[in-house]
A and B are shown apart, each in its own frame.
Chain A
């Protein structure tokens, strides 16, 4: 158990990002993993929204969200605090989404189960519209998908996204506008 005690001690002295609004919660979670639930409460809806922009299947969204927080809890002691906690967490989400998308493509099942079942968002968007939009998102570059999901899935401000991707809010705004323009050009319903 010596190693575990040492690891915890190291974790406590690891600095967190000075401007990180989650710094106190991160420090508490490092000291006592049970405190991680406060971070979980703060980010659950945002992570789930992030995932939903990029993955359609509800069960997969739940699995991925679960995986993100499980991983974050397991790795919180290694979080170096060189950037905001949110950036670290959404990087885990980003890679979890990527893994899930690959896994779904390579599953032996010919068609994903319930892949085309109606979901609640399709009460707002027609099924074809939602399908097409996600297909377009998938064709964007990974960095663009990430930004889009942070903005419209996690609901983060340009300032928050800027802190995550280490860019000025104005830069994020410009990038986002370009992404939307690209989507708009390809969106089949925009010229109707």
Chain B
């Protein structure tokens, strides 16, 4: 073992301690939670908007179809043509463009810059149940890789070449951004907000109810960019670098498996992580 100066360890210890340094708002948080606990309430300091993705895919498609029909009917009843009908048609085409074939794998990749840091995310996800998936996302060079096959979740640690497995009773659901766009387009509240030019291309701007904005190509209605609003009011613009549907061949199926992607990795089943009370 290499010997090191103790000051190196002290530096690490100091930085570790700083990570957990108390903050001004801690006392407020303590009092709020305390009051709620004392009152026997379930503490909810912060309620984040988090759209449930546990909608069965078939149900989502049925809803999508109904929503588009409703839009077209409403637009048609107001007269033939006009802006409303045009907008309904744009949403219909956009929805169709992000609806893949059954029994396929959707492969997506988006890239962007957040607070000056390049970020990227890439998904391979089964379109039908059990929605097995592999996701690689995070700041460029520091991405994390996880997966889920319907019964077990996997997390790959490249430095240790280890895959941590954990039994997961909750079924995976569509988690990719295109699925989110699809569900929000299907919800009937998406609105076409005109056309904008991004990187020299004229694109339809579609406001989605959850706050996302999709920019779709008029030639094929595929999303080219997404604006992802942040809690601090800033917006991260993501470019859709890849959107494709892959047939469910044996080789493509391997894309849905973290273990297949890293055949030499050590498997850590990590049984000590069973939660009390679960």
Please give the residue numbers on chain A whose beta carbons come within 8 Å of chain B beta carbons, in ascending order. Answer: 33-34, 36-37, 40-41, 44-45, 48-50, 52-53, 59, 62-63, 65-66, 69-71, 73-75, 78, 88, 91-92, 94-96, 98-99, 102, 105-111, 113-117, 120-121, 124-125, 129-131, 133-135, 138-139, 141-143, 148, 151-153, 155, 177, 180-181, 183-187, 189-190
Among the listed A63, A110, A177, A190, which residue makes an inter-chain contact with B112, where contact means beta carbons less than 8 Å apart?
A: A110
> Considering the complex, which residues of chain B in the window 258-278 have a beta carbon less than 8 Å from any beta carbon of chain A?
268, 270, 272-278
- What does DSSP make chain B's interface, helix, strand, loop or mixed? mixed
What 0/1 pattern do residues 34 to 55 of B give for CB contact below 8 A with A?
1001101011111010110100
> Considering the complex, which residues of chain B in the window 1-59 have a beta carbon less than 8 Å from any beta carbon of chain A?
1-2, 4, 8-9, 11-13, 15-24, 26, 29-30, 33-34, 37-38, 40, 42-46, 48, 50-51, 53
- Do B157 and A44 touch across chains, with their CB atoms under 8 A apart? no
Q: For residue A52, which residues in chain B have a CB less than 8 angstroms away from its CB? A: 19-20
Q: A53-B20, A143-B272 are in contact. Are A113 and B231 (CB under 8 A)?
A: yes
Q: A69-B37, A71-B277, A139-B159 are in contact. Are A120 and B114 (CB under 8 A)?
A: no
- Do A111 and B278 touch across chains, with their CB atoms under 8 A apart? no
Q: For residue B228, which residues in chain A have a CB less than 8 angstroms away from its CB? A: 109-111
- Is B146 engaged at the interface, CB distance under 8 Å to the other chain? yes
4 closest residue pairs by CB, A with B: A95-B275, A49-B20, A152-B16, A75-B277
Count A-B contacts at CB 8 Å: 200
List 17 A-B pairs, Cβ < 8 Å.
A34-B40, A91-B276, A98-B166, A105-B144, A106-B172, A110-B121, A110-B137, A110-B226, A111-B137, A111-B230, A117-B231, A120-B21, A120-B23, A121-B23, A131-B139, A131-B142, A189-B11
- Do A106 and B148 touch across chains, with their CB atoms under 8 A apart? yes
Please give the residue numbers on chain B whose beta carbons come within 8 Å of chain A beta carbons, in ascending order. Answer: 1-2, 4, 8-9, 11-13, 15-24, 26, 29-30, 33-34, 37-38, 40, 42-46, 48, 50-51, 53, 110, 112, 114-115, 117, 119, 121, 135, 137, 139, 142, 144, 146, 148, 153, 155, 157, 159-160, 164, 166, 172, 174-177, 179-180, 226, 228-232, 236, 238, 268, 270, 272-278
Q: For residue A129, which residues in chain B have a CB less than 8 angstroms away from its CB? A: 15
Among the listed A34, A62, A189, which residue makes an inter-chain contact with B45, where contact means beta carbons less than 8 Å apart?
A: A62
Give the docked Cα–Cα distance between A180 and B179 (Å): 42
- Do A78 and B114 touch across chains, with their CB atoms under 8 A apart? no
- What does DSSP make chain A's interface, helix, strand, loop or mixed? helix
Give the docked Cα–Cα distance between A121 and B23 (Å): 8
Give the docked Cα–Cα distance between A181 and B4 (Å): 9
Among the listed A94, A105, A125, which residue makes an inter-chain contact with B137, where contact means beta carbons less than 8 Å apart?
A: A105
Q: For residue B24, which residues in chain A have a CB less than 8 angstroms away from its CB? A: 120
Most chain B CB inside 10 Å of its own CB: which residue of A36, A134, A155, A180:
A180
Q: Nearest chain A CB to B46's CB is how many angstroms away? A: 5
Q: A107-B50, A108-B176, A110-B177 are in contact. Are A62 and B29 (CB under 8 A)?
A: yes
- Do A121 and B19 touch across chains, with their CB atoms under 8 A apart? yes
- Do B175 and A181 touch across chains, with their CB atoms under 8 A apart? no
Give the docked Cα–Cα distance between A114 and B46 (Å): 15
- Do A108 and B30 touch across chains, with their CB atoms under 8 A apart? no
Q: A45-B22, A105-B135, A153-B20 are in contact. Are A88 and B276 (CB under 8 A)?
A: yes
Among the listed A59, A63, A98, A133, which residue makes an inter-chain contact with B16, where contact means beta carbons less than 8 Å apart?
A: A133
Q: A40-B33, A105-B137, A180-B13 are in contact. Are A91 and B275 (CB under 8 A)?
A: yes
Q: For residue A75, which residues in chain B have a CB less than 8 angstroms away from its CB? A: 276-277
Q: A95-B276, A121-B18, A131-B142 are in contact. Are A110 and B46 (CB under 8 A)?
A: no
- Do B273 and A108 touch across chains, with their CB atoms under 8 A apart? no
Q: For residue A133, which residues in chain B have a CB less than 8 angstroms away from its CB? A: 12, 15-16, 19
Q: For residue A102, which residues in chain B have a CB less than 8 angstroms away from its CB? A: 146, 153, 155, 166
Q: For residue A106, which residues in chain B have a CB less than 8 angstroms away from its CB? A: 135, 146, 148, 172, 175
